[in-house]
Amino acid sequence: MSTAEEDDGKDRLKVEFTLAALRRTDDPFSSTVALHADIIAAIEWQAARSADEVMQARERVVCEIEALGARLWANGTVAGWYRGCDGAIARVSATVNGPLLEMLCAAARHGDPACIEFFRIGAPLMGLLDEAGIGEPQRCAAVCELEGDCLEHNHALLKMLREDPLGDELIKLTDADVK
């Protein structure tokens, strides 16, 4: 048996193990969150094929996505998507294919499609990030709120900070980037 056949056999065993674990109903550690039927269907699809067939299918999909992306650049759709946005943001996002990202986000049913707008309108560099829209927001006791103890925590942190020997060089380089 060749190494490729051995690897394919091991991959098949891993997929079969995963499917068996997903189908178990007596698992005392099971989550209350059920996997989406699409995920199980994808694993079953993969289990029914060789590693080569899976890689060929994946390569075909990647090539289709790349071809669509190239068409969107060539026909001016991407340039139109950036029309009217801030020039500095457009320069930073110049290589991002926004329309393609929107299509991929919709196809994946991503929970926060508005995040793609950051490539057009920018995103805050400081402060709290917006919620992603995926899952339930969680409060963590280890993370201080922007009130109360946070000010004391920041003062203590500032007292610990020391000037970096390359700090001036970093500021010069940052200024050069801005210009």
Query: What confidence tens digit (pLDDT) does each residue in 138-157 have?
Result: 666 555 555 556 677 777 77
CA-to-CA separations, 88 to 52, 85, 121, in angstroms, rounded: 44, 9, 10
Q: Is the pTM of this model over 0.95?
A: no
CA 85 – CA 119 distance, rounded (Å):
9
Determine the average pLDDT of the residues in 78-106.
92
Query: What confidence tens digit (pLDDT) does each residue in 15-37 have?
Result: 877 777 777 666 545 556 567 78
Determine the average pLDDT of the residues in 53-81.
96
Residue 99, pLDDT > 70, answer: yes
Predicted confidence at residue 142, as pLDDT, reads: 53
